[in-house]
């Protein structure tokens, strides 16, 4: 008789990630993970005392996957910022359950948009933006915030509605939004002028 497979934390998180990706994070339970791993719930609850702990670990894995997806510059859009924006929207379309889990699950509750701009994970994106736009770090944050709101809104509309995805139209609109945000960040420096 073959030895029993030892269930480790990583296996539980991977199973939770698979469930979040294919069915949605709300389907992550000790039972659904144990079914995925073909074991009892005992090893799952041995490593994690609550399902919320599992979801936090799965969220972290999903966030890392999302960051890797965003930074994939395989498709050439002629501009790294446009590529990141397009990747964000395509992630929403292709990974709708993970998108909802990451961005529509109240994970950012209590944080302001300005606090989100201080997240360390954004530094590589900000570095690219700063180099491409020849702007200061504060201007980069303004540009990013403007684009994020635009791109997130577009992605949310696609993931929550039956809408056609039009790559060419999206590239055109995102390019205009990008150049508008860069212009505004460079030209409108005094909030009293708004």
Mean pLDDT per block of 10 residues along the chain (194 residues) reads 76 97 96 95 93 95 92 79 89 95 77 77 82 88 89 92 86 91 81 52
24 and 91 fall within a common domain: no
Confidence (pLDDT) at 12: 97
Residues 64 and 84 grouped into a single domain: no
Instruction: Based on the fold, state whether residues 51 and 89 are members of the same structural domain.
Output: no
Say if residue 179 is in the same domain as residue 137: yes
Q: Both 42 and 127 in a single domain?
A: no
State the Rg of the chain over Cα.
Answer: 20
Residue 108 confidence (pLDDT): 60
Q: How many whole angstroms from its chain centre is CA 176?
A: 23
| Co-location of 63 and 92 in the same domain | no
Both tokens assigned to 111: 């944080």
Asked whether residue 25 falls in the same domain as residue 65, the answer is yes
Closest C-alpha among 67, 179, 65, 78 to residue 133: 179
pLDDT at 73: 79
The tens digit of pLDDT for each residue in 161-187 reads 888 888 899 999 999 999 999 899 888
Does residue 14 share a domain with residue 54? yes
Which of 29, 45, 70 represents a domain boundary (last residue)? 70
Domain tally, the chain: 2
Q: Report pLDDT for 40.
A: 92
Write out the residue range of the structural domain in which residue 22 sits.
Answer: 1-70
Tokens of 74: 């395989």
**Same structural domain, 29 and 52:** yes
- In sequence order, the 6+-apart residues with CB closer than 8 A to the CB of 79 are 132, 175, 178
Which residues 6+ apart lie within 8 Å of 125 measured at CB?
A: 70, 71, 84, 144
What's residue 104's pLDDT?
Answer: 87
Tokens 């670990």 sit on residue = 57
Q: What is the domain-level CATH number for residue 11?
A: 1.10.357.10
Q: Which residue has the tokens 């990974």?
A: 95
Q: What is the DSSP letter of 155?
A: H
What pLDDT score was predicted for residue 49? 92
């Amino acid at each position: 008789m073959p030895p029993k497979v030892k269930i480790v934390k990583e296996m539980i998180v991977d199973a939770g990630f698979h469930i979040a990706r294919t069915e949605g994070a709300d389907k992550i339970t000790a039972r659904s993970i144990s079914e995925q791993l073909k074991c009892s719930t005992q090893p799952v609850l041995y490593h994690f005392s609550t399902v919320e702990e599992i979801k936090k670990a799965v969220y972290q894995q999903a966030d890392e996957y999302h960051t890797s997806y965003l930074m994939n510059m395989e498709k050439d859009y002629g501009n790294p910022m446009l590529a990141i924006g397009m990747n964000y929207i395509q992630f929403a379309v292709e990974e709708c359950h993970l998108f909802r889990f990451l961005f529509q699950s109240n994970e950012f509750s209590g944080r302001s948009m300005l606090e989100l701009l201080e997240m360390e994970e954004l530094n590589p994106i900000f570095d690219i933006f700063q180099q491409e736009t020849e702007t200061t770090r504060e201007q980069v944050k303004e540009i990013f915030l403007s684009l994020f709101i635009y791109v997130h809104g577009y992605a949310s509309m696609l993931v929550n509605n039956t809408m056609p995805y039009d790559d060419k139209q999206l590239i055109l609109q995102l390019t205009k939004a990008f150049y508008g945000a860069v212009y505004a960040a460079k030209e409108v420096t005094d909030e009293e002028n708004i």
